[in-house]
Amino acid sequence: MALTRTALLAALNDVNHPALGKGLADAEAVLKAAYCDGIAAVHLAGAGLSPADRGTLAAQAKAAVTAVAQRAGETITQLNIEWMEAAPGSKTAESAAAAPRTVSLAGGAPAAGNSGPATQANPRPAGAAQAAALALPNIKHIIAVGAGKGGVGKSTVAVNLAVGLALRGHAVGILDGDIYGPSLPTMMGLGGLQANLLGNMLQPFFVHNVKAMTIGKLVDPEKPLIWRGPMAHGAFKQLVDQTEWGELDYLIIDLPPGTGDVALTMSQLLKLTGAVVVCTPQQVAQDDAIRALRMFQQLQIEVLGVVENMSYFVADDIPASQGGPREYDIFGRGGAQQMAQRTGVPFLGSVPITINLRKNSDDGNPSANFQGKTKLSESLDRLVQNLEGQVALASFKLGQSKPTLTIS
């Protein structure tokens, strides 16, 4: 017996909204409730609720969803309950990004009925404007990693997402689209390796269980890459077309920073499952990141989520006996998370500033970031798992997978 939409909403309705005195669904506080292959995502309208109320409600909603799934014989492997800054039943600026919509099933009928306003981060149907984009049939999910500006850790996040996904058993590739400033040769440790051609196809480097390709290994690293937009685009297209990727579950693309011509055209070249936006917590960084979010949304590319990088600093040289590792909120932890909530896009998680992450990136050893049980390894694991969840939901919206059940 599958978990039905009616059952999930009924379960959420058993949780009482303290301000409105009704169940969450009747109070129109359920902005989104989706379930697909063990992954459940619930977005709730949180305006006017105290953090304590939110905590209690989230715990109750979690228990209710878990219980109803068990009764339906489903095992929930991931359950994300997120608060949006919208009032129940309202269509505020945030939820205007989120007009009610019906998600259509892969090859099936549109999901009937609605639980109230459904939150949708992208104002237009995902994927529609990507009709002309190139599909790579052997690659299940292509994910672009972008940022509003350089230096926020976009490449670092792209590399660690790729390595993390591979550690979780997926077949993964990473393509350096940062054509003007390729970071992959250093970050993936490609130093002594030579690019190989077989016929006219480039063989990707296989490092850290990830297939990697970068322009940085095909040109003189000391020479500046002064390319006009169309040339950069052409080089990128060639890297995509002429690399022997084989079968992949995920191809991560490290886009150039910003929302300029090159990032824009590259985002349109391939049929993407979605995009991840990397941001640091400060207000100025958020402003840039919002521009990147809007760029993807205008291109009708699903925003899979925001990553807050350099969220806080972990001084891991201070031993536990002296109260360590100590954490310092240098840039104002949580800023990017709030921005994600304000703009109605998922938040994938935060990555601390750590000396090890910088060092492992410089040493080309990203696998080391996942070793042991540290703040860094835990935050990266969480990020990767949340991305898997968002990809499952996005692909089902795009009709790429056949879910056991879908709910608007």
C-beta of 255 vs 345, nearer to ligand ADP: 255
- Least Å distance, CB 290 to ligand ADP, is 16
- Residue of the chain from 6, 206, 358, 371 that contacts ligand ADP (CB under 6 A): 358
Binding mask 147-186 vs ligand ADP (x if CB under 6 A, - otherwise)? x--xxxxxxx--------------------------x---
The 3-class SS string of the chain reads CCCCHHHHHHHHHCCEECCCCEECCCCCCEEEEEEECCEEEEEEECCCCCHHHHHHHHHHHHHHHHHHHHHCCCCCCEEEEEEECCCCCCCCHHHHCCCCCCCECCCCCECCCCCCCCCCCCCCCCCHHHCCCECCCCEEEEEEEEECCCCCCHHHHHHHHHHHHHHCCCCEEEEECCCCCCCHHHHCCCCCCCCEEECCEEECEEECCEEEEEHHHCCCCCCCCCCCHHHHHHHHHHHHHCECCCCEEEEEEECCCCCCHHHHHHHHHECCCEEEEEECCCHHHHHHHHHHHHHHHHCCCCEEEEEEEEEEEEECCCCHHHCCCEEECCCCCCHHHHHHHHHCCCEEEEEEECHHHHHHHHCCCHHHHHCCCCHHHHHHHHHHHHHHHHHHHHHHHCCCCCCCCCCC
C-beta of 155 vs 395, nearer to ligand ADP: 155
- Residue of the chain from 361, 365, 386, 406 that contacts ligand ADP (CB under 6 A): 361
- Least Å distance, CB 360 to ligand ADP, is 8
**Facing residues of 214 across strands?**
176
Binding mask 208-247 vs ligand ADP (x if CB under 6 A, - otherwise)? ----------------------------------------
Name, in order, each residue with C-beta under 8 angstroms of 388's C-beta and a sequence gap of 6 or more.
39, 78, 165, 168
397 binds ligand ADP (CB under 6 A): no
Within residues 22-61, the interface with ligand ADP by CB under 6 A covers none
**Facing residues of 164 across strands?**
none
C-beta of 65 vs 310, nearer to ligand ADP: 310
- Least Å distance, CB 160 to ligand ADP, is 9
Instruction: Tell the burial category of 195 from Cβ atoms under 10 Å away from its Cβ (0-12, 13-18, 19+).
Output: middle
Distance between CA 146 and CA 142 in Å, rounded? 13
Segment lying near ligand ADP (by CB under 6 A), choices 50-58, 210-218, 335-343, 357-365: 357-365
Segment lying near ligand ADP (by CB under 6 A), choices 40-48, 231-239, 323-331, 353-361: 353-361
Segment lying near ligand ADP (by CB under 6 A), choices 284-292, 347-355, 364-372, 393-401: 347-355
Within residues 119-148, the interface with ligand ADP by CB under 6 A covers 147
Distance between CA 384 and CA 183 in Å, rounded? 20
- Least Å distance, CB 52 to ligand ADP, is 31
277 binds ligand ADP (CB under 6 A): no
Segment lying near ligand ADP (by CB under 6 A), choices 86-94, 125-133, 346-354, 387-395: 346-354
Distance between CA 330 and CA 193 in Å, rounded? 38
353 binds ligand ADP (CB under 6 A): yes
- Least Å distance, CB 403 to ligand ADP, is 34
C-beta of 119 vs 361, nearer to ligand ADP: 361
Number of residues that bind ligand ADP (CB under 6 A): 18
The tokens describing 58, both together, are: 């989230």
Binding mask 294-313 vs ligand ADP (x if CB under 6 A, - otherwise)? ---------------xx---
Segment lying near ligand ADP (by CB under 6 A), choices 23-31, 195-203, 269-277, 348-356: 348-356
Binding mask 255-274 vs ligand ADP (x if CB under 6 A, - otherwise)? --x-----------------
383 binds ligand ADP (CB under 6 A): no
Contact by Cβ (8 Å): 391, 141: yes
- Least Å distance, CB 399 to ligand ADP, is 32
- Least Å distance, CB 158 to ligand ADP, is 8
Residues that bind ligand ADP (CB under 6 A): 147, 150-156, 183, 257, 309-310, 351, 353-354, 357-358, 361
